[in-house]
Amino acid sequence: MLLVFGGISQAQSEEIRIAVASNFTNAMRAIAQEFEQSSKHKLKISYGSSGKFVAQIQHGAPFDVFFSADQDKVHALRQRGLIVSGSQFTYALGSLVLWSSKEGFINEANYQQRLRSGSFSKLAIANPKLAPYGLAAVQTLDQLSLKETTQSKWIQGENIAQTYQFVSSGNADLGFVALSQLAQPGQTAKGSMWKVPNELHMPIRQDAVLLKHGKDNIAAKALLEFLQSDQGRAMIQSYGYIFPKSDLPKNTLPKNTLPRG
């Protein structure tokens, strides 16, 4: 059967080089498997920090598509003339959770008391200068007036994948990670968590873009179209992501507006 994406015949296979933010690893692995099987194209995927990918792309790294953990990194590439005009879109909105690999250690009822009392070993946070989930974690602590209280126990991961490893290995009792790292279709997440309300941090709008290096790559265009199809969106949603709505707040955050509990 000959597949067609956006009217483009997929009769010949091509290879796509993709840079993917760490939080999207589990979802992209599933998407890549489905896409490769149905289209016969091959994906060469690198996972890591969005901030580091931007630096690599600016220095000539031959990526065709970039899946960022936020919009700002894509905007930076656009300003440098490194993206294909009109190709940028928000493929998901990320959700932040405070997670422990220990059952019953953290939940909706005790998260503030746990953080305020310091009754934990370390608190893992992704580097807020490089990782949007790390920035969201700092914003959350600031909104709860817990930034200074907890800062002495922070352990920073280079990206959200390393932050997850700190907690899963037991090197940190707690960590702010992406819900997508814990959400596996058909499985119950291990450990315990508190899902951070969206109003405690700026929206984590994760944008994808076709890079200038991939402007003539038919397979790269087909992949981006697949991500925006009903099948692609359903796969993304199954990993705990949501999709943007027109009524989402702007990227501004009121200071300390929620009760402390």
Reported in sequence order, the residue ranges of 120-225 that DSSP labels E, i.e. its strands, are: 123-126, 154-157, 174-178, 192-195, 204-210
Say which CATH topology domain 94-200 has.
D-Maltodextrin-Binding Protein; domain 2 (3.40.190)
Q: What is the pLDDT of residues 149-169, one digit of tens each?
A: 999 999 999 989 999 999 999
Q: In the prediction, which pLDDT does 187 show? A: 64
The SS3 assignment for 102 reads coil
Report d(CA 241, CA 234) in Å as an integer.
10
Q: In the prediction, which pLDDT does 133 show? A: 93
* pLDDT beyond 70 at 245: yes
% of the chain beyond a pLDDT of 70: 88
* pLDDT beyond 60 at 252: no
Greatest Cα pair distance in the chain = 61
Where do the CATH 3.40.190.10 domains begin and end in the chain?
A: 4-93+205-237, 94-200
Give the pTM. Answer: 0.81
In CATH, which superfamily holds the domain spanning 4-93+205-237? Periplasmic binding protein-like II (3.40.190.10)
Buried b (16+ CB within 10 A) or exposed e, 87-125: bbebbbbbbbbbbbbeeebbeeebbbebbeeeebebbbb
Report d(CA 114, CA 122) in Å as an integer.
12
Q: Which of 95, 70, 91 is nearest to 182 (CA)?
A: 95
Q: In the prediction, which pLDDT does 9 show? A: 41
Q: What is the pLDDT of residues 97-132, one digit of tens each?
A: 999 999 999 999 999 999 999 999 999 999 998 889
